[in-house]
Amino acid sequence: MTHEGGLRLHLQRVLHAPRPAVFRALTEPRELAKWWGPDGFTIPRVESDLRPGGGYRIAMQPPEGVLFHLVGEFLEVDPPERLSYTFRWEDPDPEDQETVVTLSLRDVGGTSVELVFDQGDFATERRRALHEEGWTQGLDKLEELLSSATSA
């Protein structure tokens, strides 16, 4: 089921770290594995060919349950300002469809960065809400990771 007008997810967050550090956390496999996913999930493996047309594959392990994978292709890689990629589950739920994630970074004084996150279009409101919860928890972990790195 596809909605006319598109079901989209839009999040904004101010992160207290320099833009290059934020971009690294969004793109380097070792850094990404530290914050990616909802609370309780671990990321045992991240494969990434960070260039337009390059692919990625992220292994996600829920606290209880079977390991699953997220895959996609990088559409735009413009460090340290913008990153865009396709997002799909290897074994999708019947309500899933491939979406596009776009992350934009803008300096907002000193060493703070505004992260603007967009993802869509989703097939159902239920799947959009599920992604909103997961991304919100992941971005909370990213914010904590960057704060501890800058205060260390």
Instruction: For 49-140, list the strands marked E by DSSP.
Output: 55-61, 68-78, 82-89, 99-107, 112-122
Structural domain includes residue 74: yes
Instruction: Output the pTM of the full model.
Output: 0.93
Percent of the chain with pLDDT over 90: 88
Structural domain includes residue 1: no
Per residue in 59-118, pLDDT (tens digit) is 999 999 999 999 999 999 999 999 999 999 998 888 999 999 999 999 998 889 999 999
Per residue in 13-27, pLDDT (tens digit) is 999 999 999 999 999
CATH number at residue 48: 3.30.530.20
Structural domain includes residue 121: yes
Percent of the chain with pLDDT over 70: 95
Cβ neighbors of 147 (< 8 A, separation 6 or more) are 16, 17
Contacts 24+ apart (CB under 8 A), 87-92: 87/119, 90/57
> Domain range for residue 17?
7-151
Predicted confidence at residue 80, as pLDDT, reads: 97
Structural domain includes residue 107: yes
Structural domain includes residue 31: yes
Structural domain includes residue 2: no
Tally of domains in the chain: 1
